Amino acid sequence: MATYNHILVALALDQSGRLVLKRACALAELFGARLSVLHVVEYIPIESGELLMTAPVDLTQQLEQQSRQQLEAICAECSIAAENVHTATGPVTPQIQQLAEALQIDLIVLGHQPRHGLAAWFNHTEENVITRARCDVLAVHVG
């Protein structure tokens, strides 16, 4: 059986994220692994007439700072050190991949919520991470 030395948990800043983090903390404790946490702030498209633009840099930085504060508060509940807490801005899957490679992650843990109807056609972050990751991925059912 493979042993995990460094686990990366990618979270949403909501109750489902807290559930995913608790599961990842339990896994890290079970394996005696280091745990790193990531929240990605996605680019916000702004409609300007007929043009679709990304949010101004200052707004993006403000959102990332707010997300960082929320993430640190959630991570404090599980006694995760600030140096293991990461935020990034951009498309979610590539940001997860980049950090996982940079930190030499053995296991990525993220939430999975089944989608129905039109929602099933959009936002397949979990599936994208699973198919593109170079390490094991655990999708925690949060639906």
Report pLDDT digits (tens) over 31-77: 999 999 999 987 665 555 555 555 556 777 788 888 889 999 999 98
Of the candidates 13, 17, 30, the residue with the CA atom closest to the CA atom of residue 107: 30
Residue the block writes with tokens 């994208």: 128
In degrees, to the nearest 5, what angle opens at C-alpha 103 toward C-alphas 22 and 124? 60
125 domain residue, yes or no = no
Report pLDDT digits (tens) over 16-38: 899 999 999 999 999 999 999 99
79 domain residue, yes or no = yes
Q: What is the mean pLDDT of residues 107-123?
A: 65
Of the candidates 101, 68, 98, the residue with the CA atom closest to the CA atom of residue 83: 68
99 domain residue, yes or no = yes
Read off the CATH number of the domain in which 48 is found: 3.40.50.620
Which range of residues forms the domain containing residue 35? 6-11+18-114+130-141
Question: Coil, strand, or helix at residue 13?
Answer: coil
Report percent pLDDT > 90 for the chain: 45
107 domain residue, yes or no = yes
Q: What is the mean pLDDT of residues 100-112?
A: 93
32 domain residue, yes or no = yes
98 domain residue, yes or no = yes
Say how many domains are in the chain: 1
